[in-house]
Homo-oligomer: A and B are copies of this chain.
Amino acid sequence: MNSVPLNDLSRLCIHTITTKPWSIEIAAKNYSSQGVSGITVWRDALSGRSIKQTGNMLRQHNLRVVSLCRGGFFPGKEPIKRQAAIDDNRRAIEEAFELGTRMIVLVCGADPAQSLEESRKQIHDGIAAILPDAENAGIKLAIEPLHPMYADTRSAINTLAQANDLAETLNSPWVGVAVDVYHLWWDPHLEDEIQRCGKNHNLLAFHVCDWKSPTVDLLYDRGLMGEGCIPIRKIRSWVEAAGFTGFIEAEIFSNEYWKQDQSDFLRNIITSYKKYV
C-alpha cells in the first residue's frame, strides 16, 4: 500500500546542487522562507567560506544539515590516487564535523582502467581506512549505489544489494546506505533490498527526483518528481515500511532547471513533493 501524501514540509530536505545558481546563503534564506526543513550541502558550496560559520548560518535559518555531499571516489589504478582519495575523505569528515552534520554521502568511485572487481575491493578498503575517523567524529557514512550507467567512472557499486553487502561486510554502526530512486528504480529486487537494509539499521538516507522520457543527458537531465516514470510514492512506502522516518531529499541535477528562475523552481519542487512524493 502506498504511503499517504506529505502535506507539510517537515521532512523535505533540498540539496544545494539542486539550486546550483544560488549561493548557499541565498539558498538557505529561500529554502527557509518557503518552509523547507533540511539542507544537504555539497562541498563546492562551502568554497571560500568558514565552514563552522556556514553551519551556524544554516541553523539560524532553522535548517537541519542532513548530510554533506560527497565523499568517496576511492578506486584508482595508482596507489597515489587511492591515498589522495583517503586523505580527501578524511578532510570531508572534518568538514562534516565543522558544519555540524552527522552524515556524509559516499559516491564510491570507479576507475575504467581496471576491473570493477578491483574497484570494488578498493572501495571496501578505502571505507575501512576512514572508518575510525568517522567514528571519532561521530559521522555516519552512507554508501550510495549509483545507476549502472555510471559504472565506468563514478561507482562500481550499482545496486542496493551490492551496497547492502558492503555495509554488512564493514559491519559498523557508522556505515549504512543511501537509497536514491533515480539510481535504483529499475531494480526488480529493490523492495527486498530496502527491507534488508531497514532490518539491519543501515538505511540512512532517501533521495528523490524523477526519470524523464526521453532523458537527453547522462548526468544533468533529472526530472522533477512526478514528471517521469519512477514510482516515487511506492518506493517511499517501501522505505517507510523498512522503518525510515528521516528526511526526504530532493536532489535534482538539471541543465534545464538550472536555467530557470530558481525561486519558481523551488516552488515547483515543493508542489511536486506534496503531490508525487
- When C-beta atoms are compared, the residue in chain B nearest to A183 turns out to be B148
Q: A218-B215, A218-B218 are in contact. Are A116 and B186 (CB under 8 A)?
A: yes
Q: Cβ of A149: which chain B residues have Cβ within 8 Å of it?
A: 147-149, 215, 218
| Copies of this chain, whole number | 2
Distance (Å) between the CB of A247 and the closest chain B CB?
A: 26
Cα of A149 to Cα of B188 in the assembled complex, Å = 14
Determine the chain B residues whose CB is within 8 A of the CB of A214 once the complex forms.
152-153, 218
Restricting to A133-170, which residues have a CB under 8 Å from any CB of B?
A: 147-149, 151-153, 158-159, 162
**In the complex, A268 has a CB within 8 A of chain B:** no
Question: Contacting A211 at CB < 8 Å: which of B147, B152, B213, B231?
Answer: B152
Please indicate the chain B residues that have their CB under 8 angstroms from the CB of A153 in the complex.
213-214
- Render A171-187 as a binary contact track against B, CB cut-off 8 A, 1 for contact: 00000000000000111
Q: Are B112 and A229 in contact (CB under 8 A)?
A: yes
In the bound assembly, the distance between CA atoms of A149 and B222 in angstroms comes to 13
Please tell me if A115 contacts chain B, counting CB pairs below 8 Å.
yes
- Given contacts A112-B229, A115-B231, A148-B147, whether A188 and B162 have CB atoms under 8 Å apart is yes
Q: Does A35 reach chain B (CB closer than 8 Å)?
A: no
A243 contacts the other chain (CB 8 A): no
CB distance from A77 to the nearest CB of B (A): 12
Interface check A246, CB cutoff 8 A:
no
A213 touches B112 (CB 8 A): yes
Inside 8 A of A218's CB, which chain B residues have their CB?
149, 214-216, 218
Interface check A21, CB cutoff 8 A = no
The residue in chain B whose Cβ has the minimal distance to the Cβ of A158 is B186
**Which residues from chain A sit less than 8 Å from chain B, CB to CB?**
112-113, 115-116, 120, 147-149, 151-153, 158-159, 162, 185-188, 211, 213-216, 218, 228-229, 231
| Closest 10 A/B residue pairs (Cβ) | A112-B229, A151-B186, A148-B186, A149-B149, A152-B213, A112-B213, A152-B229, A148-B148, A153-B213, A158-B186
5 contacts between A and B (CB under 8 A): A149-B215, A152-B214, A158-B188, A159-B188, A218-B218
